[in-house]
Structure 1
């Protein structure tokens, strides 16, 4: 399939395809796709490929094992990855590799993809993998873009795509405000189902883009933008297939006939759910989630602040307001450079020189946009009946205007396609697709994230912002910082946008990230989430007491997965078969993802 063929295909729509877009976003998605392909110069691959075979198994034995699995699942549900690698885009993404790869695309590549339809079929796949000692890598929908997408950490792993055939909404309880879903249920799908059933009193919390899996995002500890923005904290109850094939239900789910699995997460005894978050200890096949009550009204707001140095005093104003829930939602404080990029206009329209785009050009571009020039923009939401909103908004206005030059933006002055309205919809639990636009900043736009966590303090924000800008300047990369403010912590999400068809820019992006992780750790800031290529480095920064935590994680891995078949290397956790054989990726190891074999 060539570039033009990819560009001309129709965007998939719900409910015809589980990974489709809602009809209300179809035109917006179609326009987004057109813009993405307009900036794509990377040639499409045409030649057939020889499938990669994972280390530790002979090719003939591997092909025979896949045929055996096809006999169990149906041949149509076992696909060998011997076709050209097609990148697609967000709504038509691959499940064989990372469409936004920062390495050679053949590094993190699957040997095959299998499609189970039930928990029992997931069990049979796991048992098959143990029998043949074949690494498997489960994905929900594979849209964890910026962190590796659907790509497996170990080259040649068999990807278990849970989304295509396990996409049922098993329950929506309008009285308890809960739901129970399978891995292939996206935020788009859950939102549409709630609306179709007339449950206007129920809200969901959504991330920036609504196409990802509800389970996948929560298990990777992703965030959204309502008061229910901590998705892992809002889950209740898991069904998990362990690496040896047994199935467990956590919390109240372990009690036969229980009626509280989605309303009380803890059950009795040790709370085991945590070991299935950001790990390789099990495959989640069902998850309960709490839903937010309709607050009875909402009102978005945006403030802009003129100076770079406004960051520290503003963060110190935000902290008490956020902790006291005057600022109710997980909001964004974005830098103007990303705001300019969010228009979807290529960087070359503003600046064609080398190195980071000069700030005077950024401010000139911002001044010509509807929001006007600024250095920082805060996107927030206020909930509740009008009289309650009026009281809270007055407090926020008085506090924010302590910053000289602070402006409250009048939404009525903005065009309908302005980024502000996408942020307002997301903070109201309405999935959107607007967030794709800043990836068009470069040709063949790809992104990868630096995501450290810090207290909500001006000194911390300044330290991280200064660190980020210094290292971005070193590698000639435009700096896109956004502070995502939780209740007592904040995530700094820095999206590095790069041309994935330019080896020089890919190397610069990776070197920049490695510096950022290393230097941030020296200052006491750790990543909360990271890309496959950085997992070993990030895990290595959590090394208190001679890496006692990793030693504990390895003990759990070896006990639960004695054959080391489930997602080896995910989050830096390697099973015994792979350990000390050069599989860990660090700055010193270079850009090769494979080690020197596995233990027989």
Structure 2
């Protein structure tokens, strides 16, 4: 167990990845809850020693690291050869996934390097090509639930872009845009708007937790909860270091103009010719070092609302009500329909407070416990927000109220009845552009709490929602795991986010969680639903479900990979894209493997060696 009292959480005043001071008390409370549920030490000794990547000897690897230290400064290159530390969300590791599906030492970095500028990123890429060492870039490494900072190939050298590349390069008050480096968090961008006195003029869009990178979240196609919730759709302009031996730098869109394009780079994303930004999203085709983003004008007012619905069978008719309201922008933000159990678990208490039996918690107990809360007993909870001046909000809210109350037993919760610590208020802050620190409290559901997400996309239709919910329920019942689904509703699609919460120190539970995830991926694909994002352990399987026309998409991705990255050094295996040196050598994970590694790697591009 960790010593007590716990060290204080870093704030933005002294760390790029810190929290705003306004959240310090909340962070302290959340951290206390996390550590109260730990049964193992945060520090893990590396029993397998330095994880040297395949294809290079340990002496050659250490000599290459010495070369990198000479070029960047020894203090900016750290070997990972003794122990790893887990921490928690705001003090996360950049060497591995602190919420693993496999053993902690499986997806682990051999070293971490900290560049300070684009030229140093180029230097690292050239170094990796020279020595044929896999590199894995992260912005801040907080992609929790999907693999965190862990590299897909064991022994890769992590490039932590966030620590020394964390500048807000511009905020344009006329165009409502910004330009940021990878180390800028949603917290940092929001606080800078406040510091400049712009908070009443423009908002950011934030995901559930504000500590992640604006660049990292957007490039991985994450979402937020204002009308600007589709982050990838709201970006404009990338600067990218390509992975080839010359480490070429390019700018996309208007940034490709000979003068650099700064004048219109964040105003118009497309430029001239093929639109190339997409190949740098959820890929291993380049390292994003700058990104433009649009900011949301203050809508002139906002008002959160919450409805509860009593029965699981309300899901299908609810979706038929939600779809036309969402498409017409009466429901105007990326709102959430959450299962009642998740509303209970987000209070941060361990599962044993309510139930100690094996298997999913019985519905009767869930309802009994919810009855004691401000939400009351229910199957589903809808969190939304209306924007604009009061008369406009009233018109929209009246339409929503009339529509939702077609569901028998629907109840609108009066915010005045809710205590200040009710989760509703966290959703209120997030949907109005203020990053918070509340969401991950549900990992306390299990000791040594970890989570991994099942994230399929479907149309906003009752039949589709029902199919996905039923398959998830079936597989969770088989695995003996509590089901916590949330439907995040976009304009014409919805993301079903099912968070599997498990004990990271329980190997048997990790295996059950992995099997449940893999079964749901195959079940959903058979019904025509694909995941939009996944854990690094599951990327090969998910990529394999996008198999139309004899895997034409993956063949295209492989062509791009081999052209842009001939030596296969950049994030091999990310999103199921393997470079030629790794391809067909047993690196792909489809389930049941005892190791994440394949059998060796091929020679340098153009080499005659077999």
TM-score by length of 1: 0.99
Q: Confirm or deny: 8 A CA contact 1:152 1:567 kept in the other structure.
A: yes
The alignment partner of 1:459 has SS state of helix
The alignment partner of 1:159 has SS state of strand
Q: Confirm or deny: 8 A CA contact 1:585 1:591 kept in the other structure.
A: no
Q: How does 1:111-510 map to 2 (within 5 A)?
A: 111-199=110-198, 200-244=200-244, 245-257=247-259, 258=261, 259-510=263-514
The alignment partner of 1:233 has SS state of helix
- Give the structure 1 partner of residue 59 of structure 2: 60
Q: Within 2, Cα distance between the matches of 1:430 and 1:594?
A: 41
Match 1:23 to one of 9, 21, 31: 21
Match 1:569 to one of 573, 577, 587: 573
| Paired residue total | 597
Q: Within 2, Cα distance between the matches of 1:3 and 1:401?
A: 49
Q: Confirm or deny: 8 A CA contact 2:45 2:84 kept in the other structure.
A: no
Q: CA shift at 1:591, angstroms?
A: 3.9
Q: In the TM superposition, what whole-angstrom CA distance separates every residue of 1:480-512 from its partner, at most 9, and x where no partner exists?
A: 010000000000000000000011110100000
Q: Compared with structure 1, are the counterparts of its residues 591 and 289 closer, same or farther at alpha carbon in structure 2 (3 Å cutoff)?
A: farther
Q: Confirm or deny: 8 A CA contact 2:44 2:85 kept in the other structure.
A: no
Q: Confirm or deny: 8 A CA contact 2:206 2:225 kept in the other structure.
A: yes
Match 2:36 to one of 38, 43, 59: 38
The alignment partner of 1:116 has SS state of coil
Q: In the TM superposition, what whole-angstrom CA distance separates every residue of 1:307-339 from its partner, at most 9, and x where no partner exists?
A: 110000001000000000000000000000111
1:95 lines up with 2:98 in the alignment? no
Q: Compared with structure 1, are the counterparts of its residues 46 and 473 closer, same or farther at alpha carbon in structure 2 (3 Å cutoff)?
A: closer
Q: Confirm or deny: 8 A CA contact 1:239 1:285 kept in the other structure.
A: yes
The alignment partner of 2:486 has SS state of strand
Q: Within 2, Cα distance between the matches of 1:46 and 1:171?
A: 41
Please list every run of at least 4 consecutive aligned residues from structure 1 whose deviation after the TM superposition is greater than 2 angstroms. 43-50
Q: Confirm or deny: 8 A CA contact 2:46 2:105 kept in the other structure.
A: no
Q: Confirm or deny: 8 A CA contact 1:163 1:184 kept in the other structure.
A: yes
Q: In the TM superposition, what whole-angstrom CA distance separates every residue of 1:108-135 from its partner, at most 9, and x where no partner exists?
A: 0000000000000000000000000000
TM-score by length of 2: 0.97
Q: CA shift at 1:63, angstroms?
A: 0.3
**Cα RMSD for the two superposed structures:** 0.9
Q: Compared with structure 1, are the counterparts of its residues 509 and 46 closer, same or farther at alpha carbon in structure 2 (3 Å cutoff)?
A: closer
Q: Within 2, Cα distance between the matches of 1:378 and 1:249?
A: 41
Q: CA shift at 1:8, angstroms?
A: 1.1
1:108 lines up with 2:111 in the alignment? no
The alignment partner of 1:517 has SS state of helix
Q: Within 2, Cα distance between the matches of 1:373 and 1:221?
A: 34
Q: CA shift at 1:460, angstroms?
A: 0.3
Q: Compared with structure 1, are the counterparts of its residues 537 and 131 closer, same or farther at alpha carbon in structure 2 (3 Å cutoff)?
A: same
- Give the structure 1 partner of residue 595 of structure 2: 592
- Give the structure 1 partner of residue 606 of structure 2: none
Q: Can you give the 5+ residue segments of structure 1 that lack an aligned partner in the other structure?
A: none
Q: Within 2, Cα distance between the matches of 1:11 and 1:514?
A: 36
Q: CA shift at 1:371, angstroms?
A: 1.2
Q: How does 1:545-556 map to 2 (within 5 A)?
A: 545-556=549-560
Q: Within 1, Cα distance between the matches of 2:501 and 2:521?
A: 17
Q: In the TM superposition, what whole-angstrom CA distance separates every residue of 1:270-296 from its partner, at most 9, and x where no partner exists?
A: 000000000000000000000000000
Q: Confirm or deny: 8 A CA contact 2:502 2:509 kept in the other structure.
A: yes
Q: Within 1, Cα distance between the matches of 2:412 and 2:83?
A: 50
Q: CA shift at 1:46, angstroms?
A: 5.8
Q: Within 2, Cα distance between the matches of 1:516 and 1:62?
A: 40
Q: CA shift at 1:15, angstroms?
A: 2.3
Q: Can you give the 5+ residue segments of structure 2 that lack an aligned partner in the other structure?
A: 604-610
Q: Confirm or deny: 8 A CA contact 1:103 1:591 kept in the other structure.
A: no
- Give the structure 1 partner of residue 12 of structure 2: 14
The alignment partner of 2:90 has SS state of coil
Q: Compared with structure 1, are the counterparts of its residues 491 and 591 closer, same or farther at alpha carbon in structure 2 (3 Å cutoff)?
A: farther
Q: In the TM superposition, what whole-angstrom CA distance separates every residue of 1:203-236 from its partner, at most 9, and x where no partner exists?
A: 0000000000000000000000000000000000
Q: Confirm or deny: 8 A CA contact 1:204 1:429 kept in the other structure.
A: yes
Q: CA shift at 1:426, angstroms?
A: 0.3
1:4 lines up with 2:8 in the alignment? no
Q: Within 1, Cα distance between the matches of 2:533 and 2:85?
A: 26
Q: CA shift at 1:45, angstroms?
A: 3.5
Q: Confirm or deny: 8 A CA contact 2:135 2:569 kept in the other structure.
A: yes
Q: Within 2, Cα distance between the matches of 1:46 and 1:216?
A: 27
Q: Confirm or deny: 8 A CA contact 2:224 2:231 kept in the other structure.
A: yes
